[in-house]
Chain A
């Protein structure tokens, strides 16, 4: 591990601690949303980004176990984000365990004590078991979707479209022509007009 200096290490601990605490709060909110049968893609994205940041910070400061855990969690959260893995009670428990383990890992890093590497290995196994693809059939066949449109959707946008169709939301096709000079404003106006229709 490099020696980035005491002050930088202090900042690392302070920032990672803050992120881990935020993760705990976001997971509680995710749990509440799931109990209420609501999906919250923004929250899952926030959690994904937080873990991504933790991975980056851990890599920078040579905190290898935090980095390993974050890498595995990132894979699981990416699958959750893209709807490849459903948000089950088991997945939530795994996520809560990860937050708890982050705290232990940070403590060990700070005090220079024995790193809980066995706990990381055990949790990584759990995370890998939860990660995978459900290979659900495409819901697009029943709609006349322009293949040119589907070709330029990112994986995440396609997932959101699938989710909206699965939730029974209506799809509309709008044909509009904008001037390139005013397209930003015109599109915002169109969105405001279209939003009340679902």
Chain B
């Protein structure tokens, strides 16, 4: 899935720098190293879940302008509602096409940009 997401990100017209984390803890270690325009997280990960990672992102003042897209194998309304309540910019249930992913990414970045972000 990470390879698919990377390919979709890199296919876009704008050049992007993509960093991959293999787990939630890996993501927590990566986040303080830079300012990110967008975090894409699965809801199910081997250690912490995507909602916990999302909360961490939203609590960090340095990530105020970071957009977050949560993806999930389950189209659970409750998980989607929780993700949005915790500050996710979009929720995308799997399976999804590359076009659906591109649209969700664009929506996330647009929302952050409209909110005065740096994306």
Contact = CB atoms under 8 A, between A and B. Distances in A.
Contact of B49 (A78, A82, A152, A183): A152
Contacts of B28: 180, 183
Contacts of B86: 151-152
Nearest to A187: B47
Contact of A180 (B29, B43, B74, B85): B29
A154 B29 contact: no
Given A151-B82, A180-B28, A156 B74 contact: yes
Contacts of A180: 25, 28-29
A82 B78 CA distance: 11
Contacts of A156: 74, 76
B6 interface: no
A183 B95 contact: no
Nearest to B43: A154
B85 A154 contact: no
B79 interface: yes
A154 B79 contact: yes
Contact of B76 (A155, A183, A187): A155
Interface of A: 52, 56, 78, 82, 151-158, 180-181, 183-184, 187
21 contacts: A56-B95, A78-B74, A78-B76, A151-B82, A151-B85, A152-B51, A152-B54, A152-B55, A152-B82, A152-B86, A153-B49, A154-B43, A154-B44, A154-B49, A154-B82, A155-B76, A155-B78, A180-B25, A183-B25, A184-B23, A184-B25
